[in-house]
Structure 1
Amino acid sequence: MRSTQARQYVDGRAADLDVLAVAMQGSQACVVLLAFRDGRNLGTRAFFPKTNGSDNPAEVLAAFVSQYYGEQAPPREIVLDRTIEDQALLEEAFTAAAGRKVQLRHGVRGERAGYLDLARRNAEMALATELGSQAAQQARMAALCELLGLEQAPSRIECFDISHTMGEATVASCVVFDAEGAVRSQYRRYNITGIEPGDDYAAMQQALTRRFRRAAAALGQADSPDAPAPGPGAVLPDLLLIDGGAGQVAQAHAVLAELGLPAAAAPGEPGVLVVGVAKGEERRPGHERLLLPDGRELRPGTASLGLQLIQQVRDEAHRFAITGHRGRRQKARTSSRLEDIPGIGPRRRAALLRHFGGLPGLRAAGIEEIAQVEGVNEALAGRIYATLHGLEDADPPGQSPRTR
Structure 2
Amino acid sequence: MAVSKHLQDKLSLLPEQPGCYIMKDEKGKILYVGKAKVLKNRVRSYFTGVHNNKTTRLVSHIRDFEYIVTGSEKEALLLEINLIKKHRPPFNIMFMDDKMYPYIEVSGDQDFSVRISRKPNHKKSRYFGPYPSSSAAYEMVKLVNQIFPIRKCRTLGKQACLYYHMHQCLAPCVKKTDPKEVAKIRAEVIRFLKGDVDVVLDDLHLKMQNAAEELQFERAKELRDQIQHIEHIKEKQSIDFSDRTARDVFGYYEDKGYISFYGFFIRDGKLLERTLSITPIYEEKDEAFVSFIVQYYANNTKPKEILVPKGTDVEALEHALDVKVKVPERGEKKKLVDLVIQNAKEAHDQKFQLVYKKDKELDMAMQHLSRIVQREVHTIESFDNSHIQGSNNVSGLVVFEDGRPDKAQYRHYHLDTYRSDIDSMKEVVYRRYFRLLKDGKPMPDLLIVDGGAAQINAAKSIRDDLMLDFPIAGLVKDDRHATRALMLEDLKEVPLSKEDPLFFMLTRLQDEVHRFAIEYHRKLRSKSMTKSVLDEVPGIGETRKKELMKTFKSMKSLRQADVEALARVVPEDVARRLFDRLHPSE
TM above 0.5? yes
Residue in structure 2 matched with residue 334 of structure 1 by the alignment: 530
Amino acid aligned to 2:478: G
- Report the equivalent of 1:130: 355
Deviations 1:81-135 (A, max 9, x none): 33223x24634664xx45xxx2422444555133442233224444553333211
- 1:160 and 1:317 in contact (8 A); partners too: yes
Shift of 1:273: 0.8
What fraction of aligned residue pairs are identical, expressed as a percent? 25
376 and 314 in structure 1: CA distance in 2 versus 1, 3 angstrom threshold:
same
Q: 1:157 to 1:355 in 2, by over 3 A?
A: closer
Q: 2-side partners of 1:303 and 1:356: how far apart?
A: 45
Which has the higher mean CA deviation after the structures are superposed, 335-344 or 362-371? 362-371
2:417 matched residue in structure 1: 194
SS in 1 for 2:480: helix
User: What is the match of residue 21 of structure 1?
Assistant: 251
Aligned to 2:503: 307
SS of corresponding position for 1:294:
coil
Q: Does 1:320 align with 2:516?
A: yes
3-state SS of paired residue (2:266): strand
Asked whether 1:290 is paired with 2:497, we answer no
Q: Deviation at 1:242?
A: 0.3
RMSD of aligned Cα (Å): 3.7
Deviation at 1:13, TM superposition (A): 3.8
CA distance in 1, matches of 2:409, 2:303: 33
Aligned with residue 140 of structure 1, among 365, 378, 381: 365
Following superposition, the deviation at residue 366 of structure 1 comes to 9.2
1:217 aligned residue: 438
Q: Name the CA shift for 1:14/1:43 in 2 (closer, same or farther; >3 Å).
A: farther
Identify if the C-alpha distance between structure 1 residues 292 and 324 changes in structure 2 by more than 3 Å, giving closer, same or farther.
same
Aligned partner of 2:327 in structure 1 is 105
The answer (yes or no) to whether the contact 2:379–2:444 under 8 Å persists in 1 is yes
> Where do 1:3-18 residues align within 5 Å?
5-13=234-242, 15=244, 16-18=246-248
8 Å CA contact retained: 1:24, 1:127: no
* C-alpha contact 1:160 1:243 (8 A) present in aligned 2: yes
- Kindly report which structure 2 residues correspond to 1:4-403, keeping only aligned pairs within 5 A, or say none: 5-13=234-242, 15=244, 16-25=246-255, 27-47=257-277, 53-54=282-283, 56-69=284-297, 72-85=300-313, 87-88=314-315, 90-91=317-318, 94=321, 97=322, 102-110=324-332, 111-112=335-336, 113-146=338-371, 148-150=372-374, 152-179=375-402, 181-196=404-419, 199-218=420-439, 230=440, 234-261=441-468, 271-283=469-481, 285-286=482-483, 288-339=484-535, 345-350=541-546, 359=555, 363=559, 388=582
8 Å CA contact retained: 2:294, 2:320 = no
The 1:366–1:126 alpha-carbon spacing in structure 2 relative to 1, beyond 3 Å, is closer
Structure 1 residues 20 and 128, CA gap change in structure 2 (3 angstroms): farther
8 Å CA contact retained: 1:249, 1:276 = yes
Q: Taking structure 1 as reference, are residues 23 and 317 closer, same or farther at Cα in structure 2, changes over 3 Å only?
A: same
SS in structure 2 of the partner of residue 21 of structure 1: strand
Change (3 A) 1:36 1:255: same
1:396 corresponds in structure 2 to none
- Tell me: higher relative CO, structure 1 or 2? Use CA pairs within 8 A at least 6 residues apart: 1
Indicate conservation of the 8 Å contact 1:175/1:316, yes or no: yes
- Which segment drifts farther, 123-132 or 172-181? 123-132
- For residue 168 of structure 1, report the CA deviation from its aligned partner: 3.6
> Would you say how many aligned residue pairs link Structure 1 and Structure 2?
353
Could you list the per-position Cα deviations for residues 13-67 of structure 1 after superposition, in whole angstroms to 9, with x for gaps in the alignment? Answer: 474232212222355433222222223333232335785x42x322322333344
Q: Distance in 1 between matches of 2:269 and 2:542?
A: 47
Q: Quick one: which amino acid aligns to residue 434 of structure 2? A: R
Which amino acid in the other structure matches residue 452 of structure 2?
G
CA distance in 2, matches of 1:3, 1:348: 42
Unaligned runs of 5+ in 1: 219-229, 262-270, 391-400
What one-letter code is carried by the residue in structure 1 that aligns with 2:238? Y
The answer (yes or no) to whether the contact 1:240–1:273 under 8 Å persists in 2 is yes
1 CA distance for matches of 2:431 and 2:354?
38
SS at the partner of 2:248?
strand
2-side partners of 1:23 and 1:368: how far apart?
A: 56
* Distance in 1 between residues matched to 2:361 and 2:325, nearest whole Å: 41
- Structure-2 separation of matches of 1:389 and 1:45: 47
Aligned to 1:211, what secondary structure does the other structure show? Answer: helix
